[in-house]
Chain A
């Protein structure tokens, strides 16, 4: 990856972060921390890795993306809007009555959203189904699914993990946003999920571990995953909850709280100064 491309992605990520904060502030509710932790992953996918076309949303050969951790919807919406799926103005109607942007992603309302998510633990099963259908139809597209770390406490995730390995679903790549926090506290304190990599390996997956805020590492891992055949791949992305705004980082409080006006102003200033 050229340095200029990385700089372009970094600039986009900064704008996305600003949009996320403004839309959450205007909505007065929503998930700040877990939206900020996935920004680089989403930007790498939608602005570099994935084949998709906002002007032809449902074209068959597109790569598919499933946001299994649906509460990061603001990040997805900001990215989709910037790609051109809908007007940026719509971002600021998030969560309002009549908005195209529901509190959690909903394919019935929002172009670019493949399936509705929000109830945790269900996205990997759906992504498996999409990947199996693509394989049956001999469509060479890939399926990306983004999981939360707290989310893998759901039993269905491990049912789906078995399925992906059993059916050798290699046109699918899961990415795990390992930001370490969930709504009640540190994941390790609430319900320990470690050893995470060994668990996925034991379930038959190829496991890659990266810094989830480093574009070079993300894109390398996504390329590597595409070459792995005969089994699914998971990229465990080590991230920081609330990434990019110092006073949101690693703060459990901001899992499900939107920035107020003062916090927003401070946060935007901080983002602009970096």
Chain B
């Protein structure tokens, strides 16, 4: 299974964007080696601003640059970007409606050993709640690269959640085109829909293969744009399959699962199970061990899917 770094993909895309457009500017808060903004900094030192360990000022400065026609990309770890500087993002970026791109690395518990203080499990919720803010969680490095090119063209504030760990490649066939606000069906199925984001897209595909062996046909959706969410695709999936599992490396409160439930409960209610982190913080450990510990593995998705099928008002197919 081929894996690739979302951070490297971001760094490469940023560098290429910098070559194409001199209005691209980049800010970082002392983590440019980790976030890979260093690649841009090396080639364009005059358009790169290391703000030191000062996330609030970084966001405000980015807002000022955007107010003057620049396209700022501001990067640091997800928890510091969205948590420490939340109110700056609210006031100076979202409320202002300014064209600032916040691209964070180190989303979720796969931050690993550094522990709960550094694991952003609330970032999607924190950004999703802000008016005007688009929220994107790429599923692999190929999608990350496309996301970065896309948001550079899009006018408005965006949050992109990346990761410390490398993700298995999902889109290796070269014909995928990321569209802001559109989920993508990566596997068709009729019995149940599993809507996933980020690393969980891969785990969901693994789960879907196993479910097929059990006679359950699962539709798998990569919902990389959490906001604005693809309502049509969610409702269509509910109509076709009658049950939905969501999977995310984030709290089940406020993230993808919540967003999907908001759509379904108002428009087409069906049984739902949200896979994610329960109401608690992360802890230290290796990423793989933590994914198992927090029940974010393919087998957890399989179990949830099977249980949920029992809740469906009528069975579409006999389960082996």
Contact = CB atoms under 8 A, between A and B. Distances in A.
Nearest to A108: B97
Given A108-B97, A116-B91, A119-B91, A133 B69 contact: yes
Nearest to B69: A133
Contacts of A133: 25, 64-65, 67-70
A163 B64 contact: no
Nearest to B90: A119
Nearest to A128: B61
A159 B57 contact: yes
A163 B55 CA distance: 12
A114 B47 contact: no
Contacts of A126: 60-61, 63-64, 67, 92
Interface in B1-45: 25
B217 to A, nearest CB: 48
A132 B65 contact: yes
B67 A159 contact: no
Interface range on chain A (Cβ under 8 Å from partner): 20 to 34
Nearest to B57: A159
Interface in A112-164: 114-119, 122, 124-134, 136-137, 155-156, 159-160, 162-163
Q: Which of A160, A162, A166, A167 has the most chain B CB atoms inside 10 A of its CB?
A: A160
Contacts of B91: 116-119, 122
A128 B52 CA distance: 15
Contact of A119 (B49, B52, B72, B87): B87
B79 interface: no
A107 interface: yes
B95 interface: yes
B173 interface: no
B23 to A, nearest CB: 9
Interface residues of B, number: 31
Interface in B95-119: 95-98
Contacts, number: 104
Given A122-B88, A133-B69, A155-B56, A115 B64 contact: yes
Contacts of B88: 122, 125, 156
- The B interface is mostly helix, strand or loop, or mixed, namely helix
Contacts of B57: 125, 128, 156, 159-160, 162-163
A131 B64 contact: yes
A125 B93 CA distance: 12
Given A122-B88, A159-B57, A115 B47 contact: no
B92 A130 contact: no
Given A130-B67, A132-B49, A115 B54 contact: no
Contacts of A160: 57, 60-61
A128 to B, nearest CB: 5
A129 B61 contact: yes
B66 to A, nearest CB: 7
Interface string A190-215: 00000000000000000000000000
Nearest to B46: A136
Interface of B: 25, 46-47, 49, 51-52, 54, 56-57, 59-70, 72, 87-88, 90-92, 95-98
